């Protein structure tokens, strides 16, 4: 009985989303659960999107099975500066090498879904891509400061055997 009480005392409470520790000149605006990025605690999944915690490029959002899906997260742009950049990993497998299979990653104004910037757009025609790191510099964007931004990953697959995986998404605000 005492052992059970001790074990219950060390089990984590409900998972929470936190921002990683930043530096005085830079902060990652993306929230993550301390033990896993891209999980369903901090990201919203719909359609053919699912969270995976195994494989070659994980933890990640996986899009497969045809049709469309979305993974997104809202965050307030309240970092130390008005220079923004992003980084993520992408994995693409499409035996059809089809432009009909596409994934787009955007930064939107969450209040009205206005497109602020594209983080990248990829089609199955570039398959195969194996967990490739992508970086984007958005430069000086003072109009973003204080807004609620939405990072949205949208995939459409015309073929049910196409697969897109996105992991390690970061959006930084810095002083320059």
Specify the CATH number for the domain of residue 88: 2.60.120.200
Q: Which residue has the higher pLDDT, 22 or 124?
A: 124
Q: What is the span of the domain harbouring residue 164?
A: 45-174
Please tell me the total count of domains within the chain: 1
Report the distance separating Cα 98 and Cα 162, nearest Å: 9
Over the stretch 101-129, which tens digit does the pLDDT of each residue have? 999 999 999 999 999 999 999 999 988 89
As a whole number, mean pLDDT of residues 141-151 equals 97
**pLDDT at residue 143 greater than cutoff 80:** yes
Enter the pTM of the model: 0.87
Q: Is residue 168 part of a domain?
A: yes
CB 28 within 8 A of CB 172: yes
Largest CA distance in the chain: 60
Ranges of beta strands (E only) in the chain are 26-28, 44-47, 49-52, 60-64, 67-76, 83-93, 101-109, 114-123, 129-140, 148-157, 163-174
**Tokens 């994995």 found at:** 91
> How would residue 35 be classed by pLDDT, with cut points 50, 70 and 90?
low
């Amino acid at each position: 009985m005492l052992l059970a009480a001790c074990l219950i005392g060390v089990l984590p409470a409900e998972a929470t989303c936190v921002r990683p520790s930043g530096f005085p000149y830079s902060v990652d605006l993306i929230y993550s659960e301390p033990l896993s990025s891209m999980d369903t605690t901090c990201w919203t999944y719909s359609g053919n999107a699912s969270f995976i915690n195994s494989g070659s490029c994980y933890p990640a959002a996986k899009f497969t099975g045809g049709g469309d899906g979305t993974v997104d997260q809202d965050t307030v742009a309240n970092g130390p500066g008005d220079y923004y950049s992003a980084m993520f990993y992408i994995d693409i497998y499409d035996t059809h090498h089809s432009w009909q299979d596409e994934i787009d990653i955007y930064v939107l104004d969450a209040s009205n879904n206005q497109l602020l910037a594209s983080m990248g757009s990829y089609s199955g025609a570039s398959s195969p891509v194996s967990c490739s790191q992508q970086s984007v510099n958005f430069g000086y964007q003072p109009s973003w400061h204080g807004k609620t931004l939405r990072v949205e990953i949208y995939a459409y697959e015309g073929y049910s055997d196409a697969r897109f995986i996105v992991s390690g998404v970061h959006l930084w605000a810095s002083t320059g």
